[in-house]
C-alpha cells in the first residue's frame, strides 16, 4: 500500500512538472519557498523537500541557501548530460534485449553519420583521427573500448543534434560492460582489434569525403558485425 507521504510527494512533483512542461516556469524563474509551496498545495514541507530533491538531481532546478540574488530554488536550463545520466540509469536497471539496444544504436548512429559527413569541421575530423590513432597503439580491451566510445560519440557530436548526441552517449555508456565482455571473450583479441580499427578508419574516410550515405552504411555494418559476436 502506498503511504500518504508517498502520494503527497508525487503530487508535489507532478505540480511542479506540470508548470515546467506548460511553460509557466522557465529557466531563471524562482519557485516559492518550501513553506509557501507546502501551504499552496496542502502538503508537508518534507514532501515538498523530497520533490525538490528529485528535480535537483535531474538538473532541472538549483537550490541555494541565503538571501542574495542567487539564493532560493531557481529553474535552470538543464545540462544535456543530466538527460544522459537519467537515461543511462534506466538502461542499466532495465533488462532491454540486446537486439533492441542494437536497433536503437543503428538508428541513432546512422542518423549521426549521415549528418556528420556534411557538417563535421576540420577540427572535429581531426579529433576523430586522434581517437583512431589512439586505437592503433597496443591496447587491451578496456583502453580500446574507451577510445572506441570516444570515436562514436565524436561522430554524434559532429552531427550537431544535441539530443541525439546525448542519447548516443547514454546508450554507449550503458552497454559498455556488455561490449567490453564481448571483447574479452574473443579467442583472438588482436584479430578483432585489427578488424575494428579497419572499420573505424573506413567510417572516418567516408565522413572525410562528405559521403553521408556511405558513412551511414559503414557504421551500421560495423555495429551489426559486433552485435553478431554478442549473439
160: left (phi over 0), alpha (psi -120 to 50) or beta: left
Please tell me the predicted confidence (pLDDT) of residue 1: 40
- What pLDDT score does 67 carry? 59
- Residue 148 pLDDT: 93
Fill in the DSSP letter of residue 73. E
CATH class given for the domain over 81-230: mainly alpha
pLDDT of amino acid 211: 98
Evaluate whether 204 touches 71 at the Cβ level (below 8 Å). no
Chunked into runs of 10 residues, the chain (231 residues) has average pLDDT values of 59 90 89 90 91 87 70 77 72 76 93 97 96 93 92 96 88 81 84 95 98 98 87 61
| pLDDT reported for residue 70 | 59
8 Å CB contact between 60 and 78: yes
Query: Which cell numbers in the block locate residue 7?
Result: 502520494
Residues of the chain with CATH 1.20.120.530: 81-230
Q: Assign a CATH topology to domain 4-75.
A: Arc Repressor Mutant, subunit A (1.10.10)
Contacts for 71-75 with beta carbons within 8 Å, 24 or more apart? 72/30, 72/31, 72/33, 73/30, 73/31, 73/33, 74/28, 74/29, 74/30, 74/31, 75/20, 75/25, 75/26, 75/27, 75/28, 75/29, 75/30, 75/31
- Beta carbons within 10 angstroms of residue 102's beta carbon: 19
Residues of the chain with CATH 1.10.10.10: 4-75
pLDDT at 125: 97
Amino acid at each position: 500500500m502506498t503511504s500518504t507521504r508517498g502520494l503527497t510527494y508525487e503530487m508535489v512533483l507532478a505540480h511542479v512538472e506540470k508548470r515546467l512542461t506548460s511553460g509557466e516556469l522557465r529557466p531563471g524563474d524562482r519557485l516559492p519557498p518550501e513553506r509557501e509551496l507546502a501551504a499552496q498545495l496542502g502538503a508537508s514541507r518534507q514532501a515538498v523537500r523530497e520533490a525538490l530533491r528529485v528535480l535537483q538531481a535531474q538538473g532541472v532546478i538549483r537550490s541555494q541557501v541565503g538571501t542574495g540574488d542567487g539564493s532560493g530554488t531557481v529553474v535552470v536550463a538543464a545540462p544535456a548530460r543530466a538527460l544522459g545520466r537519467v537515461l543511462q540509469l534506466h538502461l542499466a536497471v532495465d533488462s532491454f534485449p540486446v537486439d533492441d539496444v542494437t536497433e536503437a544504436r543503428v538508428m541513432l548512429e546512422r542518423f549521426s553519420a549521415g549528418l556528420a559527413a556534411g557538417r563535421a569541421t576540420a577540427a572535429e575530423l581531426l579529433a576523430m583521427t586522434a581517437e583512431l590513432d589512439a586505437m592503433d597503439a597496443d591496447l587491451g580491451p578496456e583502453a580500446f573500448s574507451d577510445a572506441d566510445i570516444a570515436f562514436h560519440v565524436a561522430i554524434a557530436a559532429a552531427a550537431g543534434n544535441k539530443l541525439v548526441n546525448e542519447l548516443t552517449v547514454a546508450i554507449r555508456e550503458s552497454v559498455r560492460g556488455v561490449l567490453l565482455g564481448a571483447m574479452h571473450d574473443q579467442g583472438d583479441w588482436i584479430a578483432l582489434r585489427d578488424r575494428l580499427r579497419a572499420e573505424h578508419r573506413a567510417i572516418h574516410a567516408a565522413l572525410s569525403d562528405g559521403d553521408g550515405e556511405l558513412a551511414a552504411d559503414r557504421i551500421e555494418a560495423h555495429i551489426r558485425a559486433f552485435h553478431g559476436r554478442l549473439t
